[in-house]
Copies of this chain bind each other. A is one copy, B any other.
Amino acid sequence: MTPQRVTLITLGVTDLRRSGAFYAALGWVPHPASQKGVTFYQMHGAVLGLFGLADLAADQGRPDATLGTGAMTLAQNFRTEAEVDTAFSAALAAGATGLKAPEKVFWGGYSGYYADPDGHVWEVAMNPSWPLADDGSLTLP
């Protein structure tokens, strides 16, 4: 049995400096626990880390593996369509590749997608059925 828990999300990246600059341009601030070779960002109750792609493959016990992206998507939920548009524009300005500009979607909300410099996919969305807590966390109603 395992708890329904994710405490750390690690993104394997080609160039830590490039990726750090990208997330900095989005306004993300590295935590002092960051070290040479790994950058950590505190989120609400969990951490996002940037780590060299080859280092990550080695850490996974398969140093020769080619790791792929796209099939796991990270989403940021927002309270309004305007906030989604702002986040999407900020990502493009920071050098993201736009995959789908935000638009109204079949499930009643508003959603767009972009990819970070290594192809990690982020969704920016507003779901009227999913109110966010004051701290930005999401508990399903």
User: Which A residues have a C-beta under 8 Å from some C-beta of B?
Assistant: 1-12, 26-29, 31, 33, 40-48, 53, 56-57, 59-62, 65, 67-77, 86-87, 90-91, 99-100, 105, 111, 113, 118-121, 123-125, 129, 132-133, 135-141
For the complex formed, measure the closest distance between the CB of A123 and the CB atoms of chain B, giving whole angstroms: 7
Q: Which residues of B contact A3 (CB under 8 A)?
A: 27, 76, 136
Q: Which residues of B contact A60 (CB under 8 A)?
A: 70, 73, 99-100, 113, 121, 123
**A121 closest partner in B (C-beta):** B60
- Judge whether B91 and A33 touch: CB under 8 Å: no
Q: Which residues of B contact A27 (CB under 8 A)?
A: 1-3
Of B7, B8, B119, the contact of A136 (CB 8 Å cutoff)? B7
Copies of this protein in the assembly total 2
Query: A118–B11 Cα gap in the complex (Å)?
Result: 18
